[in-house]
């Protein structure tokens, strides 16, 4: 009588060999899969790399938002500075007008008299002779009248 009814005509020793070869092949396939994925260390490495990339992304995104906020603040500050420069230029123009200066002199009541013709010299741009306007103004300011206008009697 036969022990194994499914293996009719095949010797038992051959069946054991085939089963052993099949088990060896399954083990080889499992080991190849583990080697391809690095086994449990490969999965752990993959998780660590994914977590590191997520942390780096969040950090860079946070830094990017901070930089955008700083840029917006600096842009607003620059806009305010430009507005202030325009306003100051308008004030300079207003306060250097002759009518404003004369009005302020009269308001301060300095008891000034009109100047004598020899005390005033008009300098035009073409009159500078190659000197800067600052130099010409200093030269004009250093001119003194030749006679004493105020008597000491």
3-state secondary structure 89-115: HHHHHHHCCHHHHHHHHHHHCCCCCCC
Dihedral angle of Cα 82, 84, 85, 88, to the nearest 10 degrees? 160
Give percent above pLDDT 70 in the chain: 70
pTM over 0.85: no
Residue 43 CB contacts under 8 Å (≥ 6 apart), including other chains: 37
Tens digit of pLDDT for each residue in 123-145? 665 544 555 555 545 444 444 44
Q: What is the pLDDT of residue 123?
A: 65
List the chain residues with pLDDT less than 70.
Answer: 1-10, 35-39, 123-153
């Amino acid at each position: 009588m036969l022990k194994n009814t499914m293996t009719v005509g095949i010797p038992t020793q051959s069946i054991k060999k085939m089963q052993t070869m099949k088990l060896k092949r399954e083990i080889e396939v499992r080991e190849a899969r583990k080697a391809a994925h690095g086994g449990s260390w490969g999965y752990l490495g993959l998780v660590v790399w994914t977590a590191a990339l997520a942390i780096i992304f969040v950090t860079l995104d946070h830094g990017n938002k901070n930089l955008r906020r700083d840029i917006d603040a600096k842009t607003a500050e620059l806009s305010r500075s430009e507005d202030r420069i325009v306003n100051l230029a308008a004030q300079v123009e207003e306060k250097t007008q002759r009518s404003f200066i004369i009005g302020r002199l009269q308001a301060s009541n300095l008891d000034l008299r009109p100047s004598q013709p020899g005390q005033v010299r008009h300098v035009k741009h073409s009159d500078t002779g190659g000197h800067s306007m600052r130099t010409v103004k200093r030269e004009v300011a250093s001119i003194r009248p030749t006679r004493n206008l105020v008597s000491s009697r």
